[in-house]
Structure 1
Amino acid sequence: MPARFLSPDPATWTGRQAPANDYWFQKIQCVEWSEYLEDGPLGISLIGYAVDEGVRRNQGRVGAAAGPLAIRTQLAKLANHLPEDLNLYDLGDISCPDGDLEKSQQALADCTAEVLRQRDFPVLLGGGHDIAYAHYKGAQKAFPGKRIGYINFDAHFDLRPDTEGPNSGTPFFQLAREARERDEHFPYLVFGIQLAAATPSLLATVEELDVDFKVAREMVFSRLDSHRRFLDSFLSDLDAVCLTIDLDGFSSAYAPGVSAPNPMGFSPEGVFPLFEYLAASGKLISLDIAELNPAYDQDTVTAKLAARCVAAVVNGLG
């Protein structure tokens, strides 16, 4: 069992009485790492990142460590539209009992790499957005030599320098710096940026690192075809891509329960078709959901939204 790992809890997966496999709670298999084996052509493997140390370091509202449980609770209630021969695993949580964020990130990276080596599709449930660094490191470890891009739906670039250590605002700066040290470009695309939160110095970093992005006001259904072409261009010279969805990119009308609420964010209508389009591209290898903070949720709508994000992606995998 990897260090810092908490076993999956079958009691999380409950729901109403129904015919077999009508709901996710009936399809899920809670599996210990020692028993984790791949049976079918493709499996979906859930790993929680019950960590908000990065949010605390970034002076955000702590509470995202409870995010994985809240998302699982809502996933359990979803109608099951997954293929019958598709395995669905819950592999438990990474925790951070001692405040050592870096060790928790390494543990998640190792677990993500193992899932990818098993040819499963990892779904990582956060947790602070420092999950994104661990997510990508796991993909790099599993597929050395492949050109892997990162797509982020988010109000923020999360390109802050890590001069005082990594936190939830630094993951893509860390990854871009490491790419530069290898004389490589870090392929990074962001949908949903709030320019009100992007300082001139940060935008200079964005330009220097050649980051592609769309601002929040562009994330509307009427521009869907344009965004698809934008995605196609980004994906064209990549071998694979990771997807991260920071829930604070959504308007707080849809996602009040996040670490940094955002009244001017995008709507589900503006982005869910892009989740599905990316899932069907054949290049998406993994997903993470970040920044759910159940302590500030209202009627569990943010947790429900997170679950629907997961379902939109995994139901659409090509």
Structure 2
Amino acid sequence: MSYNKAPKIEFWTGRKSEEELYLHEKVEFSDSITKKEGITALLGYLCDEGVKRNQGREGAVAGADAIRAQLAKMPNHLEKNASLIDYGDITCIDGNMEESQAVLAQKVTELLKYKALPILLGGGHDIAYGHYNGIREYLGIQKSIGIINFDAHFDLRSNKNGNNSGTPFFQIAEDCQKSNTSFNYLCLGIRKDANDKNLFRTAKKLGVGFIENKKFSMDNAKSIADELLDFLGKVDHVYVTIDLDGFSSAYAPGVSAPSPMGFSPKIVLESLELILKSDKLISMDIAEMNPKYDIDNQTAKLGASLIHYVMHSKF
């Protein structure tokens, strides 16, 4: 069986027009790319094996399609020569998450070679390990990668007892150490009630930058901007990963680990604007979308809106 799945047209529906006013009219479906500019490429990661191993709420395996269905209905403001391509999905077969991550990495590398902006749709946050490896393979070890994670959790758990959705950045840090490359990791929205003391110790040991959730708000926009600009100035490229469980459950009930104590979309949009202005964004993903627990597609709409904002700012 193949881990690669072709794009599914049935999720791309909405109002009809004669002018490509909506994204379902703009999207193309392909598992290959020929042009080399102005491309946003969506790639699904249909896997919540990592969430299961991490004792979370299963259901994120259906997250990518839930986001697609909401994005499809949204207005199209892309330039005429820009492309939106649904590149299909990577699945998880018989719980083999590690192979899914390896195939995902290959696809990310492939997309970057065509100068596309990959936007990956998860799936558990184990998406990050495969995603990062794909970027690293494309860039080689000469270029530095900055990881900016909008999240309540560090996801720096040791993988001594196996890999899961809570271990991806620990795995990346270990790989960086082995290859003698820098581990540049900034977490925005970290909650003390969601990370134990050992995780804070690990973050300190690895030199991880973070802003706690109580300070990650518009009230502190200036200091957050300063922290972001400092981080952006130290790296060549930026990989953005947005874990939807970092948002308050008032905005994102449909996630694997919900909490009312999360952050708001406004500060995330402000932060994304700064990142985009740096022109260093190389790839992005949305993780932990769990439609099984969503309310009125609210979380899926949030994920879709974030993607809509990024791709229209880029192209």
* TM-score interval, smaller chain: over 0.9
Contact 1:49 1:94 in 2 (8 A): yes
Match of 1:101 among 97, 102, 106: 97
The one-letter code sitting in structure 2 at the alignment partner of 1:183 is N
Match of 2:184 among 163, 183, 187: 187
Q: Deviations over 1:151-172 (max 9, x none)?
A: 0000000000001211100000
CA RMSD of aligned residues (A): 1.3
Contact 2:16 2:22 in 1 (8 A): no
Match of 2:6 in 1: 7
Contact 1:40 1:87 in 2 (8 A): no
Number of equivalences: 314
Contact 1:280 1:317 in 2 (8 A): no
Tell me how far apart the structure 1 counterparts of residues 221 and 79 of structure 2 sit (CA, whole Å): 27
TM-score normalised by structure 1 residue count: 0.96
Which SS does the other structure have where 1:156 is aligned? coil
Match of 1:314 in 2: 311
Contact 2:144 2:182 in 1 (8 A): no
Which SS does the other structure have where 1:316 is aligned? helix
Tell me, yes or no, if structure 1 residue 66 matches structure 2 residue 62: yes
Report runs of 4+ in structure 1 exceeding 4 Å deviation.
none
Which SS does the other structure have where 1:285 is aligned? strand
Match of 1:85 in 2: 81
Tell me how far apart the structure 2 counterparts of residues 193 and 96 of structure 1 sit (CA, whole Å): 29
TM-score normalised by structure 2 residue count: 0.97
Which SS does the other structure have where 1:166 is aligned? coil
Q: Deviations over 1:169-224 (max 9, x none)?
A: 00000000111122333000000000112211111111100000001111211322
Q: How does 1:161-172 map to 2 (within 5 A)?
A: 161-172=158-169
Tell me how far apart the structure 2 counterparts of residues 198 and 12 of structure 1 sit (CA, whole Å): 36
Match of 1:293 in 2: 290
Q: Deviations over 1:47-94 (max 9, x none)?
A: 000100000000000000000000000000111111111111001110
Q: Deviations over 1:72-118 (max 9, x none)?
A: 00000111111111111001110012100000000000000100011
Contact 1:71 1:306 in 2 (8 A): yes
Tell me how far apart the structure 2 counterparts of residues 184 and 238 of structure 1 sit (CA, whole Å): 12
**Which consecutive residues of structure 1, in runs of 5 or more, have no partner in the other structure?**
none
Tell me how far apart the structure 2 counterparts of residues 88 and 269 of structure 1 sit (CA, whole Å): 25
Tell me, yes or no, if structure 1 residue 236 matches structure 2 residue 233: yes
Query: What is the CA distance between 1:18 and its match in structure 2?
Result: 1.9
Q: Deviations over 1:266-313 (max 9, x none)?
A: 011121111122122110000000001000000000000000111121
Tell me, yes or no, if structure 1 residue 282 matches structure 2 residue 279: yes
Tell me, yes or no, if structure 1 residue 22 matches structure 2 residue 21: yes
Tell me how far apart the structure 2 counterparts of residues 22 and 262 of structure 1 sit (CA, whole Å): 36
The one-letter code sitting in structure 2 at the alignment partner of 1:135 is H
Contact 1:52 1:127 in 2 (8 A): yes
Moved more, 276-285 or 97-106: 276-285
Tell me how far apart the structure 2 counterparts of residues 233 and 155 of structure 1 sit (CA, whole Å): 21
The one-letter code sitting in structure 2 at the alignment partner of 1:178 is D
Tell me how far apart the structure 2 counterparts of residues 38 and 116 of structure 1 sit (CA, whole Å): 12
Query: What is the CA distance between 1:40 and its match in structure 2?
Result: 5.0
Tell me how far apart the structure 2 counterparts of residues 60 and 125 of structure 1 sit (CA, whole Å): 18
Tell me, yes or no, if structure 1 residue 131 matches structure 2 residue 116: no
Tell me how far apart the structure 2 counterparts of residues 273 and 312 of structure 1 sit (CA, whole Å): 11
Contact 2:36 2:114 in 1 (8 A): no
Match of 2:43 among 40, 44, 47: 47
Tell me how far apart the structure 2 counterparts of residues 269 and 37 of structure 1 sit (CA, whole Å): 34
Contact 1:46 1:125 in 2 (8 A): yes
Tell me how far apart the structure 2 counterparts of residues 63 and 140 of structure 1 sit (CA, whole Å): 29
Match of 2:246 in 1: 249
Tell me how far apart the structure 2 counterparts of residues 8 and 71 of structure 1 sit (CA, whole Å): 14
The one-letter code sitting in structure 2 at the alignment partner of 1:84 is K
Q: How does 1:195-274 map to 2 (within 5 A)?
A: 195-274=192-271
Match of 1:118 in 2: 114
Tell me how far apart the structure 1 counterparts of residues 121 and 264 of structure 2 sit (CA, whole Å): 21
Tell me how far apart the structure 2 counterparts of residues 235 and 224 of structure 1 sit (CA, whole Å): 16
Tell me how far apart the structure 2 counterparts of residues 63 and 40 of structure 1 sit (CA, whole Å): 35
